[in-house]
Amino acid sequence: MGCAQEQESLAPKSGHFHTPKTTSTVEPVSVSNRVMVKVDNNVSVQWNIEDAIEAWNKNLPCDYFLLTGYSNRVLYIEQTYDPNSLNMGEHTTSSHYNQNILLNSYHGYELEVLLHELGHALGLGHSDSGLMAAETPVTGMTQPDTGAIDIARGRVLC
């Protein structure tokens, strides 16, 4: 998917972040190993962020990505429109506590791209095939594949 993982990143540019509204009832929790998701107000709802988070959370031993509650670890999601970039999405880590996902709306609003980038936020690297493949055509995947889920379950501490 043409993403650059593990590179240094600056704090989010716009500073206008909100927590997406969700239809599921999630009790606020305070667990430092989970990640609070903050979405830039400029990110289009077409990215289906809540669907991607739900797809990962239901396959993990706990709700790792939080839409409500508190965690000292934060994942910022931002959007750009860059016709000169081949990247559909990009995940960067600025510290153990802060991560960023930058989505390129020039390439469309594919749920699979967001699932892939959230996989990086879980600590997954690129694989030869499946959801975490670095350079694959978008196939319309709406759920993490079994290989990615198995690795992620081994990394998530609840």
Enumerate domains of the chain plus CATH numbers. 17-21+28-151 (3.40.390.10)
C-alpha span between 131 and 1 (Å, rounded): 9
Contacts of 21 (CB under 8 A, 6+ apart): none
**Higher pLDDT, residue 96 or 113:** 113
pLDDT at 23: 33
Looking at the chain, the whole-number percentage of residues with pLDDT higher than 70 is 77
Task: Show the tokens assigned to 4.
Answer: 């650059």
User: pLDDT, tens digit, for every residue of 22-58?
Assistant: 333 333 333 347 888 988 888 886 678 899 999 999 9
Residue 15, pLDDT > 50, answer no
